[in-house]
Amino acid sequence: MTRRSVLSALLAAGGLAATGGFNDLAGAATVGLVRPPATAATQIRNEFLHAWNGYKQFAWGHDEVHPVSGTFSEFFVPGHPIGLSIIEALDTLYVMELDADLAASVAWIEQNLSFDIDGNFHVFEAIIRVVGGLLAGYLATGNQKLLALTVDLTDRLLPAFTKSPTGMPYQFVNLHTGAVSGNTPPLAEIGTNILEFGILSKVTGDPKYFQAAKTAYRAAIAKRSSLNLMGTFLNVETGAWADTTDQAPNPPVDSFYEYLWGGWALLGDQESRDWFTLLNTALTKFSVETFHGNTWYKQVNFMTGALVGRRQSELASFWGEILGASGNAALGAAYYRSWTAVLNRFPVLPEEIDYTTLAATSAGNQFRPEYVNASFDLFFQTHDPFYASTAWQYFQGMRANARVTNGYTIINDVTTSPMRLGDLFPAYGFAENFKYLYLIFANSPRFNSSDFYLSTEGKVLRGLLPAR
């Protein structure tokens, strides 16, 4: 397939006209809101380049850069770089029209990348980061080598599913031998594959990827309680729960629920939609509560609904956009505004809070993208400038606190002044934070903001438009 026909085949009908970002809302009421400047997209793209140039200078070809020390590390297997940051950046480079960097990245992949590695790869991370990254790169460029590598890696990962007695994936696969290990993953590791596998099945015409994802989901959902709540960890060999706590939409179950909605929204799978509705209805009934005017999800016993805890992970802050997309707009807006209350207190969100006090219970920040992921989707769902304004607020907090001479870094403590910095730029920063921000403000001619779908790792699996 040519690139143009791949895009046409995957884009839903009826929405190719470029639609605007924030700057098209020039007359919109922004009373009481910080109004982002007309140069917002340019500033964000420059900051992406600041991080990218640090990676190119100190870590090119390695997985992740440590911008403070000017060193690097590998994400999956020590001593086995796969250029993870390059893979994660591909479709961001495309929508930002950084074509020379995109060409250099594709060339590096063509010349260097091989998955015949005698080491254990984390299946969940490999799917969302590498399968998704290469797939989005293929959708952006039409490069057949990117597709061939996507297929090669996915086929090496499939034993995690096919060797499992239940069809729910093991956590690790040795990419050279196919040996599997890790028999008790959390739900996110069981369910977060249907989007990448579903698109790969469409592109290749081979249904085995999508079917593996559906089999895993079906096996897990069969284990729901009589209340339609789920635990956290399942043994993939016996099908037994290893715990009793429903902590959705927090990690490590977050994207299990996200991808159920995506199975419908991206792939049109009605069973995924029905499973989402079943579980989300129960979650809303048993877990949602209000504290000091903010809306949160408590942790509950999945058999009884009894209270277990009142912590909230920053990683759950994406959830408002799933609620907004799935017909739960008021709850989604309330949840986003609750996280905005935390952002008003800490310019960079802490990893975890006690929501009864909004105090940080885990004070670092791993350069997290989830809040601005929600800003991005809710902005295009509603065209409410509140979401663009708060996205800009997030960007300013990030730029003021996480920027270093050679890029951006994780933060070890957001509660100190100045914030205590770490020394790592996680590869997902090239896929997520800057992309969400840029697309809100850029009116990119390569992105269809009226009909798109991004994976949990920010990969544009629907919505890329051909370069003109």
Interface residues with ligand DMJ (CB under 6 A)?
128, 255, 315, 368-370, 428, 456-457
* Minimum gap (Å) between residue 310 Cβ and ligand DMJ: 22
Six-digit token string for 370? 């989830």
* Minimum gap (Å) between residue 35 Cβ and ligand DMJ: 28
* Minimum gap (Å) between residue 468 Cβ and ligand DMJ: 30
* Minimum gap (Å) between residue 195 Cβ and ligand DMJ: 11
Whichever of 352 and 457 has its CB closer to ligand DMJ, that residue is 457
Whichever of 6 and 195 has its CB closer to ligand DMJ, that residue is 195
Whichever of 279 and 465 has its CB closer to ligand DMJ, that residue is 279
Q: How far is it, in rounded angstroms, from Cα 217 to Cα 167?
A: 9
* Minimum gap (Å) between residue 133 Cβ and ligand DMJ: 11
* Minimum gap (Å) between residue 187 Cβ and ligand DMJ: 12
Whichever of 250 and 456 has its CB closer to ligand DMJ, that residue is 456
With helix as H, strand as E and coil as C, how does the chain read?
CCHHHHHHHHCCCCCCCCCCCHHHHCCCCCCCCCCCCCCHHHHHHHHHHHHHHHHHHHHCCCCEEECCCCEEECCCCCCCCCCHHHHHHHHHHHHCCCHHHHHHHHHHHHHHCCCCCCCEEEHHHHHHHHHHHHHHHHHHHCCHHHHHHHHHHHHHHCHHHHCCCCCCCCCEEECCCCCEECCCCEHHHHHCCHHHHHHHHHHHCCCHHHHHHHHHHHHHHCCCCCCCCCCCEECCCCCCECCCEECCCCCCCHHHHHHHHHHHHCCCCHHHHHHHHHHHHHHHHHHEEEECCEEEECEEECCCCCEEECEEEHHHHHHHHHHHHCCCHHHHHHHHHHHHHHHHHCCCCCCEEECCCCEEEECCECCCCHHHHHHHHHHHHHCCHHHHHHHHHHHHHHHHHHEECCEECCEEECCCCCCEECCCECCHHHHCHHHHHHHHHHCCCCECCCCCEECCCCCEEECECCCC
Whichever of 54 and 429 has its CB closer to ligand DMJ, that residue is 429
* Minimum gap (Å) between residue 272 Cβ and ligand DMJ: 17
* Minimum gap (Å) between residue 283 Cβ and ligand DMJ: 18
Whichever of 232 and 301 has its CB closer to ligand DMJ, that residue is 232
Whichever of 36 and 66 has its CB closer to ligand DMJ, that residue is 66
By beta-carbon distance, which residue lies closest to ligand DMJ? 456
* Minimum gap (Å) between residue 285 Cβ and ligand DMJ: 25
Q: What angle do CA 274, 279, 282 make, to 5 degrees?
A: 125
Looking at residue 130, the DSSP 8-state letter turns out to be I
Whichever of 406 and 456 has its CB closer to ligand DMJ, that residue is 456
Whichever of 191 and 231 has its CB closer to ligand DMJ, that residue is 191
Closest C-alpha among 210, 339, 194, 379 to residue 276: 194
Whichever of 125 and 246 has its CB closer to ligand DMJ, that residue is 125
* Minimum gap (Å) between residue 369 Cβ and ligand DMJ: 6
